[in-house]
Amino acid sequence: MTEARATTLPTIAFLGAGSMAGAILNGLLSPRVEVTGGIRVTSRTAAKAASFADVASVTAYDLESDADANRKAVRGAKLVVLAVKPYLVPEVLAEVGSELASDAVVVSVAAGVTVATMEAAVPASVAVVRTMPNTPAQVGRGVTGVSAGTRATADDLALVRALFETVGAVVEVPESQLDALSTISGSGPAYVFLLVEELTKTAVAKGFTESQAKLLVEQTFLGASELLAATGADPAELRRRVTSPKGTTEKAIEVLQAAGLSGLFDRATDAALARARELAAG
């Protein structure tokens, strides 16, 4: 007896087949997901399209071999995922607009491109959903912010939620909060990697070899994350369990807090938000 599929999704077209599309595709290719009607992807180069030759459920088109690649890919697709660089979104929508199915849902992962811009570029019957995934989607541990456009129904939103749940968790927010969400979870993996880099340098300075330092720090981050996930405990409580009164950890935490770590995160995310606004203003 075969195990029932956990998720069933309608025909999906990815316009753009780079890192982000690849991450979501990984989720869709899991045995627990069935995409009825198949998956189409498009790329600029034939070389990228050729990399899907061995993936039976994916039909790849490229603009190098066929100027109609994007238009062909969206025909009859229910979900059309815009996974090109943000500056290309208006151009790609202008190209495919007239070929979109009347009940299609255009799902953008492009940073900074507004629902209003996209809704203006597609026929009035086509719904738009704007999203902000993050790179841990590559390993099924992403978190994606999802904002419904003005025409998206609850069913459309449920489909988009199901799509991104194949690669992690989903948080629905109004579009006005999506840039702020991006400064937390979109950019967040970079903050974590920076902390890993810095603590590794500190470990080397304390006399450990590069490989020992890497093992100590990376295993500590992974272990702490797993502990947080497995216990579901409040992180402040987990921190207290490592921090005996008048002990060594307490001394280190005092130094980090005296340096204004929480204010630093406020300023870092404010800077990211200000940059998002500058980019949106062109």
Ligand X SMILES: NC(=O)c1ccc[n+]([C@@H]2O[C@H](COP(=O)([O-])OP(=O)(O)OC[C@H]3O[C@@H](n4cnc5c(N)ncnc54)[C@H](OP(=O)(O)O)[C@@H]3O)[C@@H](O)[C@H]2O)c1
Query: Quick one: which of 174, 187, 122, 128 has its CA closest to 147?
Result: 174
Assess contact for 27 and 137: CB atoms under 8 A: yes
CB of 172 to ligand X, least distance (A): 17
164 vs 203 by CB, closer to ligand X: 164
CB of 80 to ligand X, least distance (A): 11
Q: Which residues bind ligand X (CB under 6 A)?
A: 15-21, 42-45, 48, 63, 70, 83-86, 88, 92, 109-111, 132-135, 186
11 vs 145 by CB, closer to ligand X: 145
CB of 157 to ligand X, least distance (A): 19
Distance, in Å, from the CA atom of 93 to the CA atom of 74, rounded to the nearest integer, reads 11
Assess contact for 111 and 186: CB atoms under 8 A: yes
CB of 274 to ligand X, least distance (A): 18
CB of 59 to ligand X, least distance (A): 14
Which helix (H) or strand (E) segment holds residue 159: the answer is helix 154-165
CB of 187 to ligand X, least distance (A): 9
Assess contact for 189 and 134: CB atoms under 8 A: yes
88 vs 238 by CB, closer to ligand X: 88
What single-letter amino acid sits at 100?
L
Distance, in Å, from the CA atom of 86 to the CA atom of 112, rounded to the nearest integer, reads 7
27 vs 133 by CB, closer to ligand X: 133
Token digits of residue 68: 């109609």
User: Tokens 């720090």 — which residue?
Assistant: 217
167 vs 213 by CB, closer to ligand X: 167
Distance, in Å, from the CA atom of 58 to the CA atom of 40, rounded to the nearest integer, reads 6
Token digits of residue 189: 């993996």
91 vs 210 by CB, closer to ligand X: 91
Query: Quick one: which of 111, 108, 122, 172 has its CA closest to 143?
Result: 172
**Partner residues linked to 130 by β-bridges:** 108, 147
Distance, in Å, from the CA atom of 171 to the CA atom of 161, rounded to the nearest integer, reads 9
Assess contact for 31 and 57: CB atoms under 8 A: no
CB of 81 to ligand X, least distance (A): 9
32 vs 85 by CB, closer to ligand X: 85
What single-letter amino acid sits at 12?
I
21 vs 217 by CB, closer to ligand X: 21
Assess contact for 26 and 138: CB atoms under 8 A: yes
CB of 128 to ligand X, least distance (A): 15
Tell me the residue number closest to ligand X, measured at CB: 18
